[in-house]
Amino acid sequence: MYFLVRQLLFQKDPEQAHDYVVSILKKQKNVTQKFSFLFRHSSENLKRTVWGMEFPNPLGLAGGFDKTGELYEVLSYLGFGFIECGTFTPLPQEGNPKPRLFRYPKYGAIVNRMGFNNPGVDAASRTFQLQRKTIPRGISIGKNKTTPNERAMEDYLLAFEKLHPFADYIAINVSSPNTPQLRDLQQSKELLDFVKLLKDKSKTQKQVPILIKLSPDLDNKMFFSLLEVYLDAGVDGIILTNTTTRKFNQYQIHEEGGISGLPLKIIATDMIKKAYKFTSGKIPIIGVGGIFDGKDALEKIMAGASLIQIYTGLVYRGPFLPKKILSFLDNFLEKENTTLNEITGINAK
């Protein structure tokens, strides 16, 4: 049934199709909740405790799908263990000119150059205030396009102050390729000072884990250097990875922007493995990039991911993908008589 619906959706412009799905989800929240049992796979084996917080399962929805925060509640009925909303900037912004979202079904890829289109932190705050809390919610924050890098941390601080009361973790997005010079912030001293400031604030306010989402296009020297300084700064977790701007000879992908999906799978898994080994598993990793089935999910966990996320796989494989992935993981754990804790990072050791 879904593949018939997908065929119809794929006849639309990708962003129009996304907006159409969003409108249906918002209208059918009660229906989705009523039939949530069709999308869920629950098991004690799949529960995961990270940052002292219990996740019903390790599979989340990556940032970028729910750009307004309005879908958090309805998406939680589709079997996910957590949802990441955003990225949110202090001021509302339209994002980059359209068209800015492109499908490459032949390669299982999506290219986007959205540019942090979002309603701003005030609107997001009002949205979250009205929602019923269901599963853990991550909130991704960024800077406005017009804010120069030397003032970027003012944007991140404002976004943090507004949204951290509604977050179970905060993801600092400094790795999107679609905001000019944003990736330069990954290695800035200001970012490290900012993380330390947030950690100090957490001692007197609600304590929220601080995560940094990294680019897959870092070379090894820079990647390991950043991991070392992030550990020293007290970062609570790393999200690996954001989209890539690499040009792949084997894929005829011509649009500019960040590539997600299957072309990113091996790159992301390799970076997770390196990060887990380099940090000796000291900080949790959220693994994202090219997860289209249970085997892909297992590879990310065995490489060192405590939690995993999907996005492009959901677009191509549909709303039953979380259930299929979780069923596969549960069956694997049962068959091997093991646990998620025991297999996390086993391929990186």
- For every residue of 152-170, which 3-state class applies, written as one string? HHHHHHHHHHHHHHHCCEE
CB count in 10 Å sphere of residue 150: 9
Model confidence at 349, in pLDDT bands (50, 70, 90)? confident
Residue 237 burial (C-beta neighbours within 10 Å; 0-12, 13-18, 19+): buried
Percent of the chain having pLDDT more than 70? 98
Cα Rg of the chain (Å, integer):
19
Q: Summarize the confidence of residues 244-262 as an average pLDDT.
A: 95
Instruction: Return the structure tokens found at 92.
Output: 């509302």
Residue 5: pLDDT over 80: no
Q: What is the average pLDDT across 114-124?
A: 98
Give the strand pairing for 53-55 and 48-50.
Answer: antiparallel
Average pLDDT taken over every residue of the chain: 95
Q: How many CB atoms lie within 10 A of CB 133?
A: 12
Q: Between 189-204 and 152-163, two packed helices, what is the crossing angle to 10 degrees?
A: 20
129 by Cβ neighbours in 10 Å (0-12 / 13-18 / 19+) ranks as: exposed
The per-residue pLDDT for range 134-166, each reduced to its tens digit, is 999 999 999 999 999 999 999 999 999 999 999
pLDDT at 265 over 90: yes
Model confidence at 187, pLDDT cuts 50, 70, 90, reads confident
pLDDT at 2 (0 to 100): 63
Q: What is the pLDDT of residue 4?
A: 76
Query: 54 falls in which pLDDT band (50, 70, 90)?
Result: very high
Average pLDDT of span 253-262:
96
* Percent of the residues in the chain that have a pLDDT greater than 90, as a whole number: 86
Which pLDDT tens digit goes with each residue over 307-318?
999 999 999 999
CA distance 285 to 34: 33
Position 8 scores a pLDDT of 86
Mean pLDDT for 108-124 is 98
pLDDT for res 137: 98
pLDDT at 140: 98
Strand bridging mode 169-173 / 307-310: unpaired
Alpha-carbon separation of residue 286 from 138, 190, 193, 271 (angstroms): 11, 24, 23, 11
List pLDDT tens digits, range 191-220: 888 888 888 876 667 789 999 999 999 999
**Which of the four pLDDT bands, split at 50, 70 and 90, describes residue 301?**
very high
pLDDT of residue 104: 97
Residue 62 has which token pair? Answer: 């990556």
- Listed range (48-62, 72-86, 185-199, 223-237) with the worst mean pLDDT: 185-199
Q: Answer for the pair 113, 178: CB distance below 8 angstroms, yes or no.
A: yes
The pLDDT, as a whole number, for residue 92 is 98
Q: Which two tokens stand for residue 251?
A: 């894929």
The vertex-341 CA angle with 340 and 347, nearest 5°, equals 85
The catalytic site residues sit at 176
For the residues 332-348, what does the mean pLDDT come to? 98
Asked whether residue 1 carries a pLDDT value surpassing 90, the answer given is no
